[in-house]
């Protein structure tokens, strides 16, 4: 039994026992949520249970707790739980009860965001497609059919939580729930006109009538009626004010990064800016903030929305897609959380007193009797500043906040990172065949061709062009539009097939051969040069979706597919033939989907003949042994085009390594100072948006695994490789002006001695030790982790001192001062930079 399985069972057993120990009364006042009569500072993080696996949940939850969180927030995904009306699924990765229990067993609270609209870059915003077909329905407005279904599902979830005694009043971990989601945004609520406000009032009344015993929130809903708490979402929420003096200031989504799209670069958010945003929020009266996301995870199967949201939902979160701690983000935020919790007694006792210390400089003081905490902020984007506060002088880097738990001593500055950083990498290895490898196949692969055009008995014909989503009900990404035409003389040398569609992509086949494709905007108006024969010709158009729309007013009505016109231009004598209203034949989905090729056990797989490569519409299969070790596993799909992949019958999602990000827009370094937006810090320009795809370890067996691919446009499966993720290097860079470690605060206060800055290193895995020091410099080192360089000033003793202190140990700490390293240069601000390897 794997270690992860043992951990899972252990935490599950604890979870079964954990909810009879206490019952908590949860209310709120103008300062905070009040749990059993005490105001609480709450630091939360989003983990979406279907974006990881049940085997990963205990580790993700523990790493969240270790990072200083006391709340886990998750959406509830309607289309995962009720894929068919009245048929519910709460098993496996959909086991919401198990997830909530595990969070509680770890000693953390839960914020359950029922919605049931979730947005979340999730397919159709979390709504099941069958909802769209209810007669007379209009989503998210004062519409009786919609309200009836929304209430039925919301009540279903609430009743399930009550039955399992998961609300705080029953001894469970759920302290907060959410109804609706970002409805009050300026591009949403106003579009619904006069019916919007009655809908908001109804949703609030419906939710509170369910008697959960915990408060409800509505995010981005300035007109949320009492007693619903309106909350803030965004990169910054320090300026947010609730709509009532009786409600606390809560931040439900602090975007820790941003989502990735196929065809786009990879966004990231510097931790110095994220920490600044968190500190500013608590500085100005906030008492609950939530990272969206703390672990982003993976859009397995066809769950990604958008359209064009990538399979990876990493989100540059503190815990990465594979469950590995992202440093220095996780560690620096952990320090921020500790610093804030050192101030908790003062923060919950009173409101802040805000005063200016100069242009772009601000102090916030929380004082109640002898209890005092202060935050000093420099919101300027270019210049550091020195301020005088309570008779003492403080240095404030630009775009930073210093936290003073006793109104005197700085425990942390958000721009000064004490936490080590890491470089993660993927090690590639070829697929290892095992005893179950395919007989007769020199490549190790077998294949089946997917027929072009109509191949299923349930195809149907109809005059005109049909909208795709109404036709497929999202049972498949694919819809065939097929037509046979007779031409007396064939087409001319300049004949062009003109196709207009709503996207998301179109492949045009003429007489069984791929003639051209269009993706994204290029699919909306596509011109394909074609060669036609005299007599009968077949035109087969494969329209496909890449995740359904998840955001926007009336997003449920946004269509897809080929809506026309479809014309042949440039026929003989420059004539045009409009095909739009002709009798088209339609097929929903692929033959291979209907026959169950994805699990590898069905179909007549070819293995003796030559493996077709770079051919569209091809299914591939191979058997493989799992990579050795315990590091997270991925597949590098370089060499493939676009399609979907299954491991042992479970979909790891859509792959699309040929969709390349724009060459421009990325910077080698991103200045954290100044307001962040989703396009400010980008990487991976000119490269595939995603070439590496997560395969959960729990989906693998030691041997006898089956990988099945469906390739749309052509690729070479023999080029794909396994990739295992590991930490390549461990680094830290601490200056003489850094505050001491946050953990030393109590020791320093009690002993009365002044501690200095400390550089600490710790290997990420318990069984690892520091094997070498790759770089060490005390003086004026330059660069970043993996690319450090000595400056003009450097101590010759640094490397040997670090080797002696660290090599052979899992962790080490060393003071950053001339007392340790000597003084290589006077009157110069010095720092210590180190890069180490762990094995």
Instruction: Place 8 in a pLDDT band, splitting at 50, 70 and 90.
Output: very low
Pairing of strands 71-75, 42-47: parallel
CA distance linking residue 77 with residue 90, whole number of Å? 11
| pLDDT at residue 177 in the model | 98
Q: Is pLDDT of 212 > 50?
A: yes
Q: Is pLDDT of 12 > 70?
A: no
Active site residue 345: no
- Count H helices and E strands in the chain, helices first: 15, 43
The pTM of the full predicted model, rounded to 2 decimals, is 0.95
| pLDDT at residue 745 in the model | 87
Which structure tokens are listed for 109?
């609270």
Query: Mean of the pLDDT values across residues 41-66?
Result: 98
Give the DSSP per-residue string, 171-238: TSSEEEEEES-STTSTTTGGGGGGGHHHHHHHHHHHHHTT--SS-EEEET-TTPPTTSEEEEEES--T
Angle between helices 329-342 and 271-283 (to 10 degrees): 20
Residue 163 CB neighbours (<10 A): 10
| pLDDT at residue 15 in the model | 46
CA distance linking residue 181 with residue 218, whole number of Å? 6
Place of tokens 């026959």: 595
Which has the minimum average pLDDT: 466-480, 604-618, 642-656? 604-618
Instruction: Place 751 in a pLDDT band, splitting at 50, 70 and 90.
Output: very low
Q: Is the peptide bond before 116 cis (omega within 30 degrees of 0)?
A: yes
Give the DSSP per-residue string, 431-498: PBP-TTPPTT-SSSEEEEEPPSS--STT-EEEESPPPHHHHHTTS-SEEEEEEEEEESS---TT-EEE
| pLDDT at residue 669 in the model | 87
What's phi and psi for 539, nearest 5 deg? -115, 115
| pLDDT at residue 443 in the model | 76
Active site residue 253: yes
pLDDT tens readout for residues 402-428: 999 999 999 999 999 999 999 999 999
| pLDDT at residue 10 in the model | 53
CA distance linking residue 208 with residue 53, whole number of Å? 32
Q: Is pLDDT of 4 > 60?
A: no
Query: Mean of the pLDDT values across residues 233-255?
Result: 98
CB 375 within 8 A of CB 403: yes
Q: Is pLDDT of 500 > 90?
A: yes
CA distance linking residue 563 with residue 580, whole number of Å? 8
CB 384 within 8 A of CB 372: no
Q: Is pLDDT of 14 > 60?
A: no
Supply the mean pLDDT for the chain: 94
| pLDDT at residue 543 in the model | 98
Instruction: Place 108 in a pLDDT band, splitting at 50, 70 and 90.
Output: very high
| pLDDT at residue 602 in the model | 83
What's phi and psi for 801, nearest 5 deg? -65, -45
Comparison of pLDDT for 442 and 289, the residue scoring more: 289
What's phi and psi for 591, nearest 5 deg? -60, -40
Task: Kindly give, in sequence order, each residue whose CB lies less than 8 Å from that of residue 298, ignoring residues fewer than 6 positions away.
Answer: 51, 52, 311, 312, 313, 321, 652, 653, 694
Which has the minimum average pLDDT: 5-14, 221-230, 542-551? 5-14
CB 810 within 8 A of CB 819: no
Backbone Cα Rg of the chain: 29
pLDDT tens readout for residues 671-692: 999 999 999 999 999 999 999 9
Comparison of pLDDT for 728 and 813, the residue scoring more: 813
Query: Mean of the pLDDT values across residues 557-563?
Result: 96
3-class SS at 59? helix
pLDDT tens readout for residues 789-818: 999 999 999 999 999 999 999 999 999 999
Q: Is pLDDT of 774 > 60?
A: yes
Which structure tokens are listed for 221?
């809903």
Q: Is pLDDT of 19 > 50?
A: no
Report the candidate in 330, 282, 281 with the shortest Cα–Cα distance to residue 64: 330
CB 743 within 8 A of CB 645: no
Pairing of strands 618-624, 705-711: antiparallel
Which one is catalytic: 180, 182, 344, 644?
A: 182
Instruction: Place 488 in a pLDDT band, splitting at 50, 70 and 90.
Output: confident
Report the candidate in 552, 553, 471, 556 with the shortest Cα–Cα distance to residue 78: 556
Comparison of pLDDT for 4 and 385, the residue scoring more: 385
Burial class (CB in 10 A: 0-12, 13-18, 19+), 507: buried
CA distance linking residue 630 with residue 764, whole number of Å? 13
pLDDT tens readout for residues 320-355: 999 999 999 999 999 999 999 999 999 999 999 999
CA distance linking residue 812 with residue 511, whole number of Å? 68
Task: Kindly give, in sequence order, each residue whose CB lies less than 8 Å from that of residue 383, ignoring residues fewer than 6 positions away.
Answer: 398
Instruction: Place 752 in a pLDDT band, splitting at 50, 70 and 90.
Output: very low
Which has the minimum average pLDDT: 106-110, 176-180, 536-540, 609-613? 609-613
CB 311 within 8 A of CB 654: yes
Query: Mean of the pLDDT values across residues 367-391?
Result: 97
Instruction: Place 22 in a pLDDT band, splitting at 50, 70 and 90.
Output: low
Instruction: Place 535 in a pLDDT band, splitting at 50, 70 and 90.
Output: very high
Q: Is pLDDT of 723 > 50?
A: yes
Which one is catalytic: 82, 149, 253, 711?
A: 253
Angle between helices 196-208 and 144-163 (to 10 degrees): 20
Which structure tokens are listed for 816?
């950053």
Query: Mean of the pLDDT values across residues 30-51?
Result: 98
Cα angle value 217/219/220 (rounded, 5°): 140
Q: Is the peptide bond before 629 cis (omega within 30 degrees of 0)?
A: no
SS (H, E, C) 539-565: EEEEEECCCCECCCCCHHHCCCCEEEE
Instruction: Place 441 in a pLDDT band, splitting at 50, 70 and 90.
Output: low
Instruction: Place 430 in a pLDDT band, splitting at 50, 70 and 90.
Output: confident
């Amino acid at each position: 039994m794997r270690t992860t399985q043992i951990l899972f069972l252990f935490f599950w057993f604890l979870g079964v026992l954990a909810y009879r120990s206490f019952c908590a009364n949860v209310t709120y006042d103008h300062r905070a949520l009040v749990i059993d009569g005490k105001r609480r500072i709450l630091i939360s993080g989003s983990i979406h249970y279907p974006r990881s696996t049940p085997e990963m949940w205990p580790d993700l939850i523990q790493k969240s707790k270790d990072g200083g969180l006391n709340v886990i927030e998750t959406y509830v995904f309607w289309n995962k739980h009720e894929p068919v009306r009245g048929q519910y699924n709460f098993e496996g990765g959909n086991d919401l009860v198990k997830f909530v229990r595990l969070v509680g067993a770890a000693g953390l609270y839960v914020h359950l965001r029922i919605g049931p609209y979730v947005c979340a870059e999730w397919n159709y915003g979390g709504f099941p497609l069958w909802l769209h077909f209810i007669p007379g329905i209009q989503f998210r407005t004062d519409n009786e059919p919609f309200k009836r279904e929304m209430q039925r599902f919301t009540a279903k979830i609430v009743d399930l939580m009550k039955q399992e005694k998961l609300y705080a009043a029953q001894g469970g971990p759920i302290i907060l729930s959410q109804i609706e989601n970002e409805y009050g945004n300026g591009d949403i609520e106003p579009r619904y006109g006069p019916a919007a406000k009655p809908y908001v009032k109804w949703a609030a009344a419906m939710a509170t009538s369910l008697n959960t015993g915990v408060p409800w929130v509505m995010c981005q809903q300035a007109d949320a009626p009492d007693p619903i708490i309106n909350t803030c979402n965004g990169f910054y929420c320090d300026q947010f004010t609730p709509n009532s003096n009786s409600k606390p200031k809560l931040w439900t989504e602090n975007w820790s990064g941003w989502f990735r799209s196929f065809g786009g670069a990879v966004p990231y958010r510097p931790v110095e800016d994220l920490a600044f945003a968190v500190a500013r929020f608590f500085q100005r009266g906030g008492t609950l903030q939530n990272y969206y996301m703390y672990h982003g995870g993976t859009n397995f199967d066809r769950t990604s929305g958008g359209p064009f949201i990538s399979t990876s939902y990493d989100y540059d979160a503190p815990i990465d897609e594979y469950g590995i701690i992202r440093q220095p983000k996780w560690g620096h935020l952990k320090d921020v959380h500790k610093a804030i919790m050192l101030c908790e007694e003062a923060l919950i006792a009173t409101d802040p007193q805000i005063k200016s210390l100069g242009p772009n400089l601000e102090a916030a003081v929380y004082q109640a009797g002898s209890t005092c905490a202060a935050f000093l902020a420099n919101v300027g984007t270019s210049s550091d500043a020195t301020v005088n506060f309570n008779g003492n002088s403080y240095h404030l880097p630009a775009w930073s906040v210093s936290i003073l738990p006793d109104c005197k001593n700085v425990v942390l500055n958000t721009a000064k990172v004490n936490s080590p950083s890491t470089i993660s990498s993927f090690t590639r290895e070829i697929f290892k065949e095992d005893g179950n490898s395919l007989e007769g196949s020199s490549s190790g692969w077998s294949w089946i061709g997917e027929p072009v055009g109509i191949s299923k008995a349930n195809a149907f014909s109809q005059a005109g062009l049909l909208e795709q989503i109404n036709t497929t009900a999202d049972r498949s990404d694919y819809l065939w539009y097929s037509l046979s035409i007779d031409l007396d003389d064939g087409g001319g040398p300049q004949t062009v097939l003109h196709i207009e569609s709503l996207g998301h992509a179109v492949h045009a086949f003429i007489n069984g051969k791929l003639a051209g494709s269009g993706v994204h905007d290029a699919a909306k108006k596509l011109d394909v040069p074609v060669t036609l024969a005299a007599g009968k010709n077949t035109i087969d158009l494969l329209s496909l979706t890449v995740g359904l729309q998840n955001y926007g007013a009336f997003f449920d009505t946004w269509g897809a597919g080929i809506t026309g016109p479809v014309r042949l231009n440039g026929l003989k004598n420059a004539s045009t033939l409009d095909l739009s209203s002709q009798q088209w034949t339609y097929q929903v989905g692929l033959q291979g989907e209907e026959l169950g090729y994805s699990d590898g056990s069905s179909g007549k797989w070819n293995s003796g003949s030559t493996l077709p490569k770079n051919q569209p519409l091809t299914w591939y299969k191979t058997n493989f042994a799992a990579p050795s070790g315990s590091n997270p596993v991925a597949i590098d799909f370089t060499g493939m085009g676009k399609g979907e992949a299954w491991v042992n019958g479970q979909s790891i999602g859509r792959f699309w390594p040929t969709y390349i990000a724009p060459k421009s827009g990325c910077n080698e370094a991103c200045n954290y100072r100044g307001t962040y937006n989703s396009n400010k810090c980008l990487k991976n320009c000119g490269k595939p948006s995603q070439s590496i795809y997560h395969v959960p370890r729990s989906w693998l067996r030691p041997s006898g695994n089956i990988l099945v691919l469906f390739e749309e446009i052509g690729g070479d499966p023999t080029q794909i490789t396994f990739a295992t993720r590991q930490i390549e290097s461990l680094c830290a860079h601490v200056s003489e002006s850094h505050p001491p470690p946050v953990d030393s605060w109590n020791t320093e206060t009690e002993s009365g001695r002044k501690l200095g800055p400390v550089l600490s290193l710790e290997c990420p895995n318990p069984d690892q030790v520091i094997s070498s020091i790759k770089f060490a410099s005390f003086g004026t080192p330059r660069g970043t982790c993996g690319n450090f360089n000595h400056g003009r000033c450097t101590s010759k003793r640094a490397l040997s001192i670090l080797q002696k202190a660290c090599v052979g140990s899992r962790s080490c700490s060393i003071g950053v001062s001339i007392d340790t390293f000597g003084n290589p240069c006077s009157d110069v601000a010095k720092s210590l930079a180190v890069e180490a390897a762990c094995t």
